[in-house]
Amino acid sequence: MKKIAVPTRENVVDDHFGHCEYYTIYTVDDNNQVTDRSRLDSPQGCGCKSNIASVMEEMGISLMLAGNMGNGAYAKLTDHHIEVIRGCHGATEQVIQDYLAGKLHDSAEACDHHDCDHHHDEEQPVYHVAFPTQK
């Protein structure tokens, strides 16, 4: 079993990991089939300066399929034993299927202005949603 996190905004991969709306968490079985989907709300402010990496590690998440992130966020996630594939774009459901089909590879590109000061913080409500399991 493997748990995969995808930074999400409006059902697509958020291009900026640190400011996503939430993370879609996929559980994949040994047959490479998605067995569960859930939602992990993003912390307020910049994700790279939060405890999200340690929370994900405690949840057993071992992979993140991300749009883009700075080197600091990448290092923090990998320090918490979370592999990162950068350069993912599009609907989260398509991205997870592309990963399972072996079509995704890390772009190795990092956000070159990732100091978190170039973003404005917005109050966002916190929701906890469980996606139904599809068989």
Q: What string of H, E and C letters represents the secondary structure of 84-135?
A: EECCCCCEHHHHHHHHHCCCCCCCCCCCCCCCCCCCCCCCCCCCCCEECCCC
CATH match for 2-131 among 1.20.1250.20, 3.30.420.130, 3.40.50.10890, 3.40.50.620: 3.30.420.130
- pLDDT per residue as tens digits for the range 44-77: 755 556 789 999 999 999 999 999 888 888 999 9
What's residue 45's pLDDT? 57
Distance CA 102, CA 19 (A): 27
- Report the residue count for the chain: 135
Residues of the chain with pLDDT under 50: 113-135
What's residue 122's pLDDT? 36
What's residue 61's pLDDT? 98
Distance CA 33, CA 97 (A): 9
